[in-house]
Structure 1
Amino acid sequence: MTEPGKLTFEHYELPEPGQGAILAKVIRTNICGSELHIWKGKHPTKKSGVMGHEMVGRIERLGPGVETDSAGEPIGLGDRVVAAYFLTCRKCQFCQQGQFALCANAYAYWVKDAAEAPHFHGSFATHYYIHPDQYVYKVPDNVPDTAAASVNCALTQVYYGLVKGGLRYGETVVLQGAGGLGLNAAAVAKEFGATVIVLDAVASRLDKAKQFGADHVIDIRQVDTPAKRIEAIRDWTGGRFADLALELSGVPDAFSEGIHYIRPGGRYVSIGNVSPGATTLFDPGLLTRKAIQIIPIIRYEPWYLHKALQFLSANMEKYPFADMLDAHFCLEDIGEALDKSANREVTRASIIPGDVQDA
């Protein structure tokens, strides 16, 4: 991306991975909400560079010293892997406090311009360079590419969010948004033993949410006011309201509305709103009176990527993970894929790079 909304293709020789690094050939990469924020110029700092981070790849070159993945499983040429899209240096002030998701060097190579070596900084490319401080895991054999591509970051992000939100068996969780994050969250919450309520404005997404474990869905175009939605959640919970809610839509007003869904003493996890400066009216007195805990989540502890892979492998036959991607594009058509995703014409667009010709 040369600037928000504009793309160009550039060609570089494949780099030889250094000590502890991996060069992977991109099998499939998805368009995540993070890319859409950058594409629309809403990211506070990233205005150009190689986008893409949610992907599954096949090891093409191994750097010296790489014999296992981050869980100690042997890996070699040709193996499929997924990698955390950020670095975990384990040396900065945050890592030293055990706050690995906040690593000060997390984005040292994220969305860098292609001209800077090793060039392949993002997964919107034929290849992706995995640095030594990126956690990487081998994909289980029973997990197809279409499902593995969403593990980082959608599945892992919401898995981590539900754990940090303290979801317990028998609780009720509300999910604001039924895109890639919301669908994955529905399945994880259901397997945790929760009653799941999902809100969205797109009927096809809500239909999918039911396939991923949602017990109740709310079409916000039909249940068209906050008061009506609050009342619906009150009715479904027998007047108790939800124990936990996750904001996954990226809509600021969803945040101010979401605390009304939650019981006194409940928890509210904010994941979707990642653009500073987008504001909403908020009632802090209600927050205090209800003693609601607000839990903002940025990235995840990188070993949760392995937990998410194990979850996916164990539940492949139970939920239609392989069917979550509903639009497929070649790399040359990635601009169209980004635009359709931004306009919500598709739920989850996926790119299959192949061998790019002279674009």
Structure 2
Amino acid sequence: MGNEKGTVAVMDEPEKLSYRDYDLPTPGQGAVLLKVLRSNICGSELHIWRGQHPTKRRGVLGHEMIGEVHVLGEGVETDYAGTPIQKGDRIVSAYYITCKKCAACRDGHFHLCEHAYDFWNQQPEVSPHFHGTFASHYYIHPDQYFYKVPDNVSETAAASANCALSQVYFGLDKAGITYGQSIVIQGAGGLGLNAAAVAKEKGATVIVVDGVESRLEQAKKFGADHTINFNDYETLEDRTNAVLDLTEGVGADFAMEVAGVPAAFAEGIHYIKPGGKYVTIGNVTPGKMVEFDPGLLTRKSIQIIPVVRYNPWYLYKSLKFLADTQGRYPFDEMIDAEFSMDEIKLALDKSAAREVTRATIVMK
């Protein structure tokens, strides 16, 4: 692409960041080059930034984003829903590859593709350089689903669709929650707020548990019927009784762990009625242990549903959800801090210190 250059923010090691410039690549057949508009800081980035990821110790971070088409590769005329696209259109993409050929893909588990992170794990010096979205541009590879953003969906709301919203939507569908049922959501961060809205739209009674009152107040705006501040209860038994009081004494039909704390996972089965289901999403770092009561799990016959990533067409469902519920939930308010591209380290540090709840990096 001539002498046109772009910039990537590189984590050289945990909590150390630098910037590098590279020539913009010409997208190959089936690929797309985006100009990044904004990229959010997700909990996954914080795990990596703190050095807690099992494999990624350096490289370009960022995956939760919205961009606009900069260059279309040969043969790319529509998104993965068949909608025509052109330069300047706003796009969100799944942040992983779906090869459709590995054992997981052959079994229909596209979210578990063995090649999901083939490019995300590449270092920036490896072409096409723009592997993450903490950058001026982002390269979408063939077999990486992407969709045009509906006109009535804001840039801020759409930026969260390709991770938080799609993942909890996928998890709730796997669990099969429906009208008239109840769910306890453990954690009122980005995942929890999105989950509350989706569960509410499915007709469920939503109970959100967290230890930060401001988060619980926001959860009410996203559909929570009841909130429980666990700091108000001294023991697990007290918190369980609080859930029982809200569920006619039997416990919730479902629970979803999005707190990312092992102790929350161990506690969740106490909230669920016999025969219920437990979706766990937040605990993603292997090796963190917690005491667990397998006998209680068996006696209550609770089904545990672990979820990582999502089948990529859920990104399209999420965009439709945002378009159809416009004005019903304050998705634009989920972001409480904006930073510029040269402030990425500051944004990561403040997010890791919990000085901000959900930060976004504005690249333009």
Settle same-fold status: TM greater than 0.5.
Answer: yes
- Alpha-carbon separation, structure 2, partners of 1:18 and 1:182: 38
* 1:272 counterpart letter in structure 2: G
Q: Residue 279 of structure 1: SS of its match in structure 2?
A: coil
Aligned to 2:8: none
1:351 paired with 2:357, answer no
2:121 is aligned with 1:82: no
Candidates 302, 313, 316, aligned match of 1:292: 302
SS at match of 2:59: coil
Alignment partner of 2:277: what SS? strand
Q: Distance in 2 between matches of 1:175 and 1:344?
A: 20
Partner Cα distance (1:21, 1:352) in 2: 24
What percentage of residue pairs aligned between the two structures are identical?
63
Are 2:149 and 1:136 equivalent residues in the alignment? Answer: no
Question: Which of the residues 113, 122, 147 maps onto 1:103?
Answer: 113
- 1:197-208 matched pairs, under 5 angstroms: 197-208=207-218
Q: Which runs of 5+ in 2 are unaligned?
A: 1-10
SS of structure 1 residue aligned to 2:22: coil
Amino acid in structure 1 at the alignment position of 2:287:
G
Cα shift readout 1:100-157 (whole Å, capped 9, x = no counterpart) = 1110101101142111111110000111111111000000000010100000100000
C-alpha deviation, 1:303, in angstroms: 0.4
Quote how far apart the aligned CAs of 1:223 are. 2.5
Matched residue of 2:139: which SS?
Answer: strand
Partner in structure 2 of residue 251 of structure 1: 261
Distance 1:278 1:145 in 2: 36
Partner of 1:157: 167
Deviation of the 1:343 alpha carbon:
2.1
| Within-5 A mapping of 1:172-211 | 172-211=182-221
Shift >6 Å, 4+ stretches:
none
Per-residue CA shift, 1:53-93, capped at 9, x if unaligned? Answer: 00000000110000000000000000001000000000111
Once the 2 structures are TM-superposed, how far is the Cα of residue 345 of structure 1 from its aligned partner? 1.9
Normalising to structure 2: TM-score of the pair? 0.96
The whole-number CA distance in structure 1 between the counterparts of 2:337 and 2:229 is: 22
SS of the aligned residue for 2:66 comes to strand
Q: 1:6-54: per-residue Cα shift (whole Å, max 9, x none)?
A: 1111111111101100010111110011111111111100001100000
**How far apart in 2 are the matches of 1:201 and 1:108?**
37
Aligned length: 354
The 1-side partners of 2:296 and 2:168 are apart by 26
* Equivalent in the alignment of 1:319: 329
Q: Deviation of residue 270 (structure 1)?
A: 0.7
Shift of 1:220: 1.9
Larger relative strand fraction? 2
Paired position in structure 2 for 1:167: 177
Q: Which residue in the other structure is 1:5 paired with? A: 15
Residue aligning to 2:317: 307
* SS of aligned partner of 1:7: strand
Q: 58, 78, 82: which is aligned to 1:48?
A: 58
Q: What is the Cα deviation at residue 205 of structure 1? A: 1.0
Unpaired runs of at least 5, structure 1:
355-359
Contact 1:111 1:122 in 2 (8 A): no
Contact 1:51/1:111 (<8 A) preserved: no
TM score, norm. by length of structure 1 = 0.97
Q: Distance in 2 between matches of 1:220 and 1:233?
A: 11
1:268 paired with 2:278, answer yes
